[in-house]
Structure 1
Amino acid sequence: MNRCFFWRCPLTPAARCAAAIDVLADIIERRRPAADALKDWGLAHRFAGSGDRAGIASLVYDALRRRASAAWIMGSDTPRAIIIGSLRLQQGLAASSIAALFSGEGYAPPALTADERARIETMTLAGAPPEIAGDAPAFVLPELEATLGEDLIPELRALARRAPLDLRVNTLRGPRETILAALEGYGAAPTPHAPQGLRVPVAADGRGPALHVEAEFLDGWYEIQDEGSQLAAILADAKPGETVVDLCAGGGGKTLALAASMANAGRLIATDGDPRRLAPIHERLRRAGAQAEVRTPRGGKARSDVLADLDGTVDRVVVDAPCTGSGTWRRNPDAKWRLRPGSLATRHAEQATVLDRAASLVRPGGRIVYITCSLFPSENDAAVGALLARSGNAFAPVDVAELLAPAPSSLAGAVRVTTYGVQMTPLRTGTDGFYVSALVLQR
């Protein structure tokens, strides 16, 4: 029987390490999302408090961020070795501090062996191959190198750090200054680039404050949204009075930002190929005071095109495309280890499908804004280039200077310019890895 059953909260830091090893083993052995494994652990150990669950989650996500490099320095890829190695690499703990956690006493994991202690005292990443030094699957390195070039390892290390906690102030409710004052006690400060963004410090264990229960959040004054996602919505440049379709709206994060950009003036339609993903959008729109028409496709044989009446009439189609999410590995580090070559092929096909649908919606002179949270050029420039070819050059890429015009000038010097758009990265922009390109349908 799992000895975690006998624990009583609050758990000691050592007991949290033991639990993290159990959860990590479940993730690796069953190849399941970390969030699912952590949820199941919490349900099976209801006596553990919220602080304990958050602390365990932090340990697990840090271990996944540094899974390859931790295994390298420990000479083993067992869950125990990865947790020990990540404590050394990610949290910078000394050997004596790790030994105190791995003491074998009470509910602590078994004591460090002589070899384990020697490795955390002496091993480094000097000479490690790029997939180890950068903690990324080896098969995606050619794609990443094509995007990141000489910055490959520094960018991958930035991608292995914890993500910040960013907010987007809802200008439909009021100016950023109002919320900045309201959240002063949390240490909120303006984000480096996004004009309505705020960044809130997180604790040493990676846990942020429960901002989703604050009165201002419940009243729709702000949304939790990475600065890169905010900037992508700004680059979409949706204007008051336009007809705009958010083609892959999901839970509505960018829909809300587009509504604010349009000042609720115009026609904003949100839909998604997966109707289940749209479930949260209605409450979020209500809370934010944002106006959007949500079109939910039917499933099964009765499924029909819910946008057929809009073909050839839309001013701006925003395609926040399904992708591998490689740009969000700071937040979802388990995703990089579950990625397989076949996943890329599936995403490429999905991206072609949504781009072709966007092409049929846009009017002459209108635009498609293509967005991914990916660092892979095959999901970004290659997808855009393929649409240009399929359309017989009916579309033309928007010049980068024009694409960046709606954003603060600071962004222009930080993004990576690609063939058809711009790429944000953790190292250069301090954001998730968002790609944005815009295409205009020539008259």
Structure 2
Amino acid sequence: MTPAARVQAAIELLDQIIEGARNKGAPADRLISAYFKQRRYAGSKDRRAVRDLVYRAIRLCGEVPYDGRSAMLAVATEDASLVPLFDGSEHGPAKIGGGEMAAFIGTAPDWLMEKLKASGITGKEAEALLGRASLDVRVNTLKAARDTIELPEEGERLAAPNALRFPSGTQVEQWREYRDGLVEIQDHASQWVCEAVGAKAGETVIDLCAGAGGKTLALAAQTGNGASLIACDTDKRRLGNLAPRAARAGAQVDHTVLLNPKVEREALAPWIGKADRVLVDAPCSGSGTWRRQPEGRWRLDQAELKRLTQLQDHVLDIGAELVKPGGTLAFVTCSVLDDEGANRIEAFLERHKGWSSTKVPIPLGKARGQGTRLSPFHDDTDGFFVALLALEC
């Protein structure tokens, strides 16, 4: 592909990603993968260059652009070397017209910027949400130890007990050690969140929103397979991925429970009031993961945020019913918005008597309300909010 053809390919992909954002369709990474499957002639350098252009545009444009061309014109306003590539050639983009407008450059839509500001996320802290993320792994202590494991590349030791960091793009999933379950990809903040849960051998621990089970596997390793682990979710496809992951990791999960939305308590009846610890890793906007999925801010609107906060209250209420007296409820979102963090804990404590917040025992993050928030700017991690709630005996 010529440089101009790469720009045109990025424009075509951005058109698809913009449509997906508006209509809640497929995410950017899936659309990019499908695009190149249909264009086998594009080499690895071409794919890498086009992908880079696409994500430069996504990171740069705060609002959903009108179209892919306006998004790439925004990139060209920041990188003058791209302007001559709008050359009208056979496979390149049309020449830039006299009144053409580039897309709006910014961090996020105005309404979302107000939410960030109200949450104390401004200036460089807001800009850091769209930076480049490293790739972190957790050494699986059921099979290996950080001090002795030998990997194809040497990673940076992080503060979490089993964390290693590698440059973005490191092909960890191609490593034999990954295929054999010695390491799992998991952000440094996420590893600390699992440490904060404080699960111990002999306890009953419920991962209420387990998804594909990344945190479930971390809890299994943390307890040396000594806890009774119950992994639950409403997504059958994602929950179905847990069994093969657990087998690869050597992790013991006693029960996987598929939940039906709005009638979750029926499936959870055997554990009501019996859990020592419940982890609620609640569905959220993912504002803390924009470094990895920057089009997430294009896909979020005020109605969706309201729906998510109501869902977070709902799963918190369910989680509270599962905890036995003296037990702990951990609430986590990969969001930096107070609507999905401190505000949810305040609302929970107003609804539920006999509960109190406790200190989150991790060395990273800053206090936010009655919990702790980690952020890319201050902690060089994904953005997370975590709070611990204790039920009195």
| TM-score when normalising by structure 2 | 0.90
Q: Distance in 1 between matches of 2:5 and 2:178?
A: 34
Judge conservation of contact 2:15–2:68 (CA < 8 Å) in 1.
yes
In structure 2, do the counterparts of structure 1 residues 302 and 364 end up closer, same or farther at CA, with 3 Å as the change threshold? Answer: closer
Gaps of 5+ in 2: none
Worse overlay, 21-30 or 423-432: 21-30
Q: Is residue 352–residue 387 contact of structure 1 (8 Å, CA) maintained in 2?
A: yes
Residue of 276, 280, 283 corresponding to 1:315: 276
| Deviation, structure 1 residue 50 | 4.8
Any idea what the Cα deviations from partners look like across 1:326-381, whole Å, max 9, x if unmatched?
Answer: 11111111110111111011111211111111111001000000000011111111
Instruction: Note if 1:80 corresponds to 2:69.
Output: yes
What is the match of residue 93 of structure 2? 109
Q: Distance in 2 between matches of 1:297 and 1:182?
A: 36
Aligned mates of 1:418, 1:263 — CA distance in 2: 32
The whole-number CA distance in structure 2 between the counterparts of 1:178 and 1:106 is 56
Contact map agreement 1:238 1:316 (CA 8 A) in 2: yes
Amino acid at match of 1:182: L
Question: In 1, distance between residues paired with 2:76 and 2:246?
Answer: 41
Q: Does 1:46 align with 2:40?
A: yes
Letter in 2 for 1:21: I
- Inter-CA distance 378–302: structure 2 relative to 1 (3 Å threshold): closer
Q: CA contact under 8 A between 2:280 and 2:331: conserved in structure 1?
A: yes
Within the candidate set 381, 385, 408, 2:342 is matched to: 381
Kindly report which structure 2 residues correspond to 1:96-245, keeping only aligned pairs within 5 A, or say none. Answer: 97-99=81-83, 101-105=85-89, 107-112=91-96, 132-133=105-106, 135-148=107-120, 152-179=122-149, 181-184=150-153, 187-191=154-158, 193-202=159-168, 208-245=169-206
**1:62 corresponding residue in structure 2:** 56
Counterpart amino acid of 1:85?
A
Aligned to 2:147, what secondary structure does the other structure show?
helix
Distance 1:218 1:296 in 2: 26
Q: Is the 8 A contact 2:135 2:170 kept in 1?
A: no
CA distance in 1, matches of 2:208, 2:98: 57
Residue identity in the other structure for 1:397: S
Distance in 1 between the 2:17 and 2:198 partners? Answer: 40
* CA offset digits 1:2-21 (Å, max 9, x no partner): xxxxxxxxx34432221110
Question: Which sits farther off after the overlay, 306-315 or 12-21?
Answer: 12-21
* Structure ranking higher in helix proportion: 1
Letter in 2 for 1:275: K
The number of residues matched between the two structures is 388
Which residues of structure 1 form unaligned runs of 5+?
1-10, 72-76, 121-130, 203-207
TM-score, length basis structure 1: 0.81
Judging changes above 3 Å, is the alpha-carbon distance between structure 1 residues 302 and 200 closer, same or farther for their aligned structure 2 residues? Answer: closer
Mark the CA change 1:303 to 1:195 in structure 2 (over 3 Å): closer, same or farther. Answer: closer
Structure 1 residue ranges, 4+ long, deviating more than 4 angstroms after superposition: 111-116, 298-304
CA distance, structure 2, for counterparts of residue 303 and residue 386 of structure 1:
21
In structure 2, relative to structure 1, the CA distance for the partners of 1:210 and 1:145 (3 Å cut) is same
Please report how far the alpha carbon of residue 146 of structure 1 lies from its aligned counterpart in structure 2 after TM superposition.
Answer: 2.5
Per-residue deviation, 1:109 = 2.5
Structure 1 residues 165 and 387 mapped into 2: Cα distance closer, same or farther (>3 Å)?
A: same
CA, structure 1 residues 364+51, in 2 after alignment: closer, same or farther (shift >3 Å)? farther
